[in-house]
């Protein structure tokens, strides 16, 4: 599933092609792609509207249509967004098409039919409850240290929780934890202030590097709106590298399952936390 860097890449690349453009027609080939709204209602809501902005929030792309509302897209596993000439053929997996006033068309494409492109009147309400952006001003070292102490959860599942912090997924959590020397099963309330500061820095560094490389294409599905694969997968230190040597110490990377997610760690750089001794247990 595309994570923050991939979604940010898509938003950045379609933004200049959409902002200022007016929607002249809308067609829907797979009605579930637009959520529970009917096709006629969806078309009535968007036709005639003008794109005012294209932004990312967590793993969502929010395309403001001014006072009307917004289109909120989630790529899920195989969704793609492209803006092409009117005669461009999007193929058999095209789900939604929006014709634009400059002769181009916005295409929402999805192989596995899980992605969504919904019209909402109030995008803020639709996305309420999502945590702070890891590249935003709220995500400071002090904030992270304080919030980790307030919880008592395994570190990786907590970082994947979108109500705790926005946009992080399996790839970038594994990479950030390795760079920070923290094991995914470490209890959040046992992370020191210094460790939290390092983790905050590494999360930001990993995400920025991945955005610079237009995300990670570890399968055939994720491509940028220009049709190119991302290249951050060539920089992975642990993710998807089970059995290969750690780039830091040479120890073979181990694969395990944490919170029902495939997880990659270096047993040397990220020692597994010891179980806390139960109070009253015999020595």
> Do 147 and 99 belong together in one domain?
no
Residue 92's CB is within 10 A of a number of other CB atoms, namely 8
Residues classed as catalytic: 2-3, 59, 261
Q: What does the pLDDT look like over 40-81, one tens digit per residue?
A: 999 999 999 999 999 999 999 999 999 999 999 999 989 999
CA 125 – CA 120 distance, rounded (Å) = 9
- Let me know: does 117 contact 96? Beta carbons within 8 Å: yes
Do 163 and 96 fall within a single domain? no
Q: Given this model, what pLDDT does residue 226 score?
A: 84
d(CA 180, CA 22): 46
Pair 118, 76 in one domain: yes
Q: Report residue 184's pLDDT band, with 50, 70 and 90 as the boundaries.
A: very high
**Confidence (pLDDT) at 1:** 73
Contacts of 47 (CB under 8 A, 6+ apart): 23, 24, 25, 26
Q: Could you write out the three-class secondary structure of 144-178?
A: HHHHHHHCCCEHHHHHHCCCCCCCCCHHHHHHHHH
Number of CB atoms found within 10 A of residue 233's CB: 18
Write out pLDDT tens, residues 117-154: 999 999 999 999 999 999 999 999 999 999 999 999 99
Helix or strand run (H / E) with residue 98: strand 94-100
Query: Do residues 122 and 146 share a domain?
Result: no
**First-last CA distance in the chain:** 46
Report the CATH number at residue 113: 3.20.190.10
Alpha helices of the chain — where are they, by DSSP H?
Answer: 4-18, 39-46, 123-126, 141-150, 155-160, 170-180, 193-212
Whether residues 109 and 154 share a domain: the answer is: no
**Shared domain check, 145 and 117:** no
Average pLDDT over residues 151-177: 97
**Whole-Å CA distances, 204 to 48, 107, 142, 221:** 39, 31, 14, 25
Say whether both 151 and 208 belong to one domain.
yes
In a domain, 271, yes or no: no
pLDDT of 281 higher than 90: no
Residues 88 and 149 placed together within one structural domain of the fold: no
User: 72-76, 171-175, 227-231: which has the minimum mean pLDDT?
Assistant: 227-231
User: For residues 117 and 85, what is the distance between their CA atoms, to the nearest angstrom?
Assistant: 20
Token code pair at residue 219: 């399968």
Task: Please state the domain count of the chain.
Answer: 2
Does 183 fall in a domain? Answer: yes
pLDDT confidence of residue 277: 46
**Residue at 134 is within a domain:** no
157 and 107, same domain (yes or no): no
Q: Quick one: pLDDT at residue 280?
A: 47
Q: Is residue 116 part of a domain?
A: yes
pTM equals 0.93
Task: Name residue, tokens 């995300």.
Answer: 215
Judged against a pLDDT cut of 60, whether residue 283 lies above it is answered with no
SS3 106: strand
Residue 27 has pLDDT above 80, yes or no: yes
Residue 204 lies in a domain: yes
Residue 216's pLDDT band (cuts 50, 70, 90)? very high
pLDDT digits (tens, 9 = 90+) for 259-268: 999 999 999 9
pLDDT value of position 123: 96
| 227 found inside a domain | yes
Domain final residue, candidates 103, 126, 149: 126
Q: Do 100 and 196 belong to one domain? A: no
| CATH assignment at residue 147 | 1.10.8.50
User: Does 110 share its domain with 202?
Assistant: no
Asked if residue 93 and residue 187 are part of one domain, the reply reads no
> If DSSP codes are grouped into helix, strand and coil, which group holds residue 70?
strand
Q: Which domain holds residue 113?
A: 4-126
> What CA dihedral angle connects 119, 137, 181 and 243, to 10 degrees?
30
Give the percent of the chain with pLDDT over 70. Answer: 96
Last residue of a domain, one of 99, 126, 153: 126
**End of a domain among 75, 100, 126?**
126
Residue 157 lies in a domain: yes
């Amino acid at each position: 599933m595309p994570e923050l860097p991939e979604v940010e890449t898509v938003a950045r690349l379609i933004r200049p092609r959409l902002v200022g453009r007016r929607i002249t027609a809308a067609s829907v080939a797979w009605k579930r792609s637009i959520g529970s709204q009917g096709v006629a209602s969806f078309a009535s809501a968007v036709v005639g509207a003008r794109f005012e902005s294209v932004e990312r929030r967590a793993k969502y792309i929010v395309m403001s249509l001014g006072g009307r509302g917004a289109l909120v897209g989630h790529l899920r596993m195989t969704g793609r967004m492209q803006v092409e000439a009117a005669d461009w053929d999007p193929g058999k997996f095209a789900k939604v098409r929006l014709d634009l006033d400059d002769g181009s068309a916005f295409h929402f494409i999805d192989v596995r039919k899980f992605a969504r492109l919904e019209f909402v009147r109030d995008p803020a309400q639709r996305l309420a409850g999502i945590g702070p952006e890891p590249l935003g001003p709220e995500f400071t070292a002090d904030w992270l240290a304080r919030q980790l102490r307030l919880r008592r959860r395994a570190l990786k599942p907590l970082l994947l929780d979108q109500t705790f912090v926005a946009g992080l997924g399996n790839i970038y959590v594994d990479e950030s934890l390795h760079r920070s020397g923290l094991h995914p099963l470490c209890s959040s309330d046992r992370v020191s202030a210094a460790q939290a500061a390092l983790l905050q820095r590494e999360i930001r560094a990993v995400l920025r590097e991945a955005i610079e490389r237009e995300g990670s294409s570890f399968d055939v599905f994720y491509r940028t709106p220009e049709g190119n694969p991302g290249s951050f997968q060539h920089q992975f230190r642990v993710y998807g590298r089970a059995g290969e040597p750690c780039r830091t110490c040479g120890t073979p990377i181990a694969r395990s399952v944490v919170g029902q997610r495939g997880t990659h760690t270096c047993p040397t750089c990220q020692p597994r936390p010891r179980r806390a001794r139960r109070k009253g247990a015999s020595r």
